[in-house]
Structure 1
Amino acid sequence: MRRKTEEDRQVETVNNLELTDKSVYPDEDVLKGVLGRSYSAYRALLELFDRNGMHSEWRYYMDGKAWLCKVQKKKRTIVWMSAWKGFMQATMYIPAKYVEDIYALPIQDDTKEQIRTTKNVGKSQPCTFEIRNQKVLKDFDTVMQYKIQAT
């Protein structure tokens, strides 16, 4: 089976982004409809944020023409989320000087490889997770704890 390339992921991004209507706030009913079976994993993710003293806020961003969820601890942004058909995408931006530390974390090799093959955004490395089920939350939490403590 062929590995997904960055180009493949960009094509998927263009095709699957949801919540682009500024007039439709992403409340629970809207998110249930978009996420489908992965909605329970999204709820588990919100519980993870709560346990870590974080809060989330949905806002429509004109530059991306979509609703994004910013997750903060105190006033510091830790995670950005966007809704896709069938899953929630959660991204943490790690400053370049800390990226090597991510590869030393106890996370799955395929997670490390996905991070490695993602293009930098400015001076940061995006660590993107597709929240389709709760299995990915362990690696997500490990990277999130690192971001909270180290950066």
Structure 2
Amino acid sequence: MEEKEIYVFSDRQVKPTEDLIFSIIGDKKILWEKIMNYLSDNYKDASGTWNYYNDGKQWLFKMVRKKKTIFWLAVMKDTFRVTFYFGDKAEPVIVASGLPESVRDNFLTGKHYGKIRAISTKMTGLSDAETVIKLIDIKAGLK
């Protein structure tokens, strides 16, 4: 049975700060910085904000560019998860991309939320950060 993931920012009164995040994600800080540096170097009009969401009872980081959500991010003990939502029109782009086969397969067979599907990546190593960077480029390139 798969272990349920526990997200650590569930207290509405404790807004996430960089120091707090890095103290929780430990050595995954390198992956965090790689993703955020890529965004600031390549998408200068992208910006992120932390918001507390009552429906999930947790703080989530929302990265946007020109009012378009690029991804959502949640922090867990020792790591973090980045989630993208794509409409059905993104399917041929994702299938033809250089994304790992497991990511493409999860998208193709994943649960539909209306006309959108999620690709969610838990950060465990450098290859996961590279996957997120490819997904950022795909998301930014879609109309």
Q: What is the TM-score with the length of structure 1 in the denominator?
A: 0.84
Shift of 1:56: 0.9
Residues 1:139 and 2:143 are matched in the alignment: no
Q: Is the 8 A contact 2:35 2:132 kept in 1?
A: no
CA contact (8 A) 1:107 1:142 kept: yes
2:14 to 7, 24, 41: 24
Q: Distance in 1 between matches of 2:22 and 2:130?
A: 23
Match of 2:36 among 40, 46, 55: 46
| Superposition deviation, residue 111 in structure 1 | 2.1
Counterpart amino acid of residue 38 in structure 1: K
1:93 Cα deviation from its structure 2 partner: 0.5
The alignment status of 1:99 with 2:76, answered yes or no, reads: no
How far did 1:121 drift?
2.2
Partner AA of 1:24 in structure 2: V
Query: 1:130 is matched by which residue type in structure 2?
Result: K
Q: How does 1:55-134 map to 2 (within 5 A)?
A: 55-134=47-126
Secondary structure at 2:111 match in 1: coil
TM-score, scaled to structure 2? 0.88
Deviates more, 1:28-37 or 1:61-70: 28-37
Q: What are structure 1's unaligned runs of at least 5 residues? A: 1-6
SS, match of residue 98 in structure 2: coil
Name the amino acid aligned to 1:143: L
* Unaligned runs of at least 5 residues, structure 2: none
Give the root-mean-square deviation of aligned CA atoms: 1.8
Retained in 1: the 8 A contact 2:87–2:115?
Answer: yes
Q: Letter of the 1:77 partner, please give it.
A: T
Identity of aligned residues (%): 22
Q: 1:107 & 1:95 partners in 2: Cα distance?
A: 17
Deviates more, 1:78-87 or 1:115-124: 115-124
| Distance in 2 between residues matched to 1:123 and 1:109, nearest whole Å | 22
